[in-house]
Amino acid sequence: METYFLKNEDILKFYERLNQEYELFVPVKAKSALKLNCDCKPIVPTDDFSIKKFSQVKKEEIVFSDYRSTEPIRSFFTQYKEEVSVFFEGEDSKGKKERPLALCGVKNCDIFALKIQDFVFLGGSEVDAAYKARRDTTLIIASDCPQFKNVCFCRAFDINPFPTEGYDFNFSPLTNGYLVDVASQKASSIAFSLKDVLVPATLGQLSGRSSKRESVVRRLDDYLTQYQIPKKEKLQDIVVSGHNSTVWQNESRTCVECNGCVFICDTCHCFLLSDDSSSGNARRLRLWDGCLLKNFTKVAGGANPLKLRYMRLRNRFLKKFDFFISNLGIQACCGCGRCIDVCPGKIDIRRILKILHESRQVQPEVVG
């Protein structure tokens, strides 16, 4: 991997170069509350960064995002509502070629979350071809987080606020420019074409980055002490053994079933195939679905294994911290805190994990 330095005033050249080949998305400061693009329209706060189409923002609005965007990065790979097939006659929309995306402002929590999305859409019994095409062609321009939000807790799970893998470019802000890591073939050829503005990084710049990274890690770790979030190695045990804990009833009392936590989550992936024949030829839509919605597990005969709200809240935690740890070895939570931000009921994943952890410590170990 090569690392270059790019001056602040040259960043537009970088964007313009990407925009020639890609549908470029860049971070801007969110100006108004974002309504989630789903039926229940939960609202997320305004003090965030948003990732918008380069061609639709004013150049002076583009910023370097200090922490993750409001939108989950998965929304660029699977959309809330998407036509996935037409049957039986007619043009299959999946045959249409999409312009490849270049996403700036991707953070390390998002990159972690993409491991979950990849497991689902590239793994399983068969590969989702549309997802694969987007993953293969999308350019990921990641960046360090020099700051964190009050809801951020990536470090609780040993995820750093700066990426070391899973990107094409990574940007680390320095005082008068950026260190730019070039990590892929695609990125290399773009970097080559920008060689008049990308100069090799100096040792001094590299060590400057290291101390900035250490500083944010230290500040975030200090900040997180108050939440006493259990370490990732304990997550599966505390969630499974906390099956009968009162935490589920207590915490789900303020849940209004808006499903905001699910739709804004970067690791959630559930969907429902729904057929629509209103336009003549039947179309199959893939809609994001979520396990906090009451009909998520309801079967045609009317039975519903997750009929009560607290069961659905518990199910969400079992999926994230039991199912994924069993199947993939990692938890389906990247510590981005988007679910905490969005929840009108102030349900806090950090608090639930802490309560489960505390009750596990007083509970005798049961073998088998």
Partner 1 sequence: MKKNIYQPIKAVIEEVIEETSTIKTFKLRPAIPFSFATGQFIELTVPGVGEAPFTPSSDPGIKDLLELTIMKAGEVTSKLHTMQKNDILGIRGPYGLGYPLDKFKGRDILIIGGGVGLAPLRSLLFSLFSRIDQYNKVVLRYGARTPSDIVYKALLPEWAKKDKVDVLASVDIGDPSWQGNVGLVTTVLGEVPVVSAKAVAIVCGPPIMMKFVTLKLLDLGFNPQDIYLSMEKSMSCGLGKCGHCRIGKYYACKDGPVFTYEQLKDIRDIWD
Q: For residue 148, is the peptide bond before it cis, meaning its omega torsion is within 30 degrees of 0? A: no
Nearer to partner 1 by C-beta: 45 or 305? Answer: 305
Burial pattern 233-262, b for ≥16 Cβ within 10 A else e, equals: ebbbbbbbebeebebbeebbeebeebbbbb
Least Cβ distance, residue 67 to partner 1 (angstroms): 28
List the one residue out of 255, 250, 213, 274 whose CA is nearest residue 356: 250
295 — phi, psi (to 5°)? -95, 10
Q: Which residues bind partner 1 (CB under 8 A)?
A: 84-85, 87-88, 92, 94-95, 120-121, 123-129, 132-133, 243, 269-277, 282, 284, 286, 289, 291, 296-301, 303, 305, 315, 318-319, 322-323, 326-327
Nearer to partner 1 by C-beta: 206 or 287? Answer: 287
Tokens encoding 273: 């195939």
Nearer to partner 1 by C-beta: 60 or 89? Answer: 89
Nearer to partner 1 by C-beta: 223 or 323? Answer: 323
Residue 189 has a CB neighbour count (10 Å cut-off) of 11
The residues with which 196 forms a beta bridge, in sequence order, are none
List the one residue out of 290, 271, 268, 258 whose CA is nearest residue 334: 268
Rounded to whole angstroms, the Cα distance separating 345 from 119 reads: 31
Nearer to partner 1 by C-beta: 216 or 291? Answer: 291
Rounded to whole angstroms, the Cα distance separating 360 from 355 reads: 8
Least Cβ distance, residue 257 to partner 1 (angstroms): 17
Nearer to partner 1 by C-beta: 297 or 359? Answer: 297
Nearer to partner 1 by C-beta: 253 or 307? Answer: 307
Least Cβ distance, residue 105 to partner 1 (angstroms): 27
List the one residue out of 55, 52, 144 whose CA is nearest residue 103: 52
Asked if 38 contacts 263 with a C-beta cutoff of 8 angstroms, the reply is yes
Rounded to whole angstroms, the Cα distance separating 335 from 276 reads: 36
Q: What single-letter amino acid sits at 41?
A: K
Least Cβ distance, residue 95 to partner 1 (angstroms): 6
Least Cβ distance, residue 282 to partner 1 (angstroms): 4
Asked if 203 contacts 9 with a C-beta cutoff of 8 angstroms, the reply is no
Least Cβ distance, residue 243 to partner 1 (angstroms): 6
Asked if 149 contacts 337 with a C-beta cutoff of 8 angstroms, the reply is yes
Least Cβ distance, residue 47 to partner 1 (angstroms): 31
Nearer to partner 1 by C-beta: 151 or 318? Answer: 318
Characterize the bridge pairing of strands 81-87 and 282-288.
antiparallel
Least Cβ distance, residue 234 to partner 1 (angstroms): 18
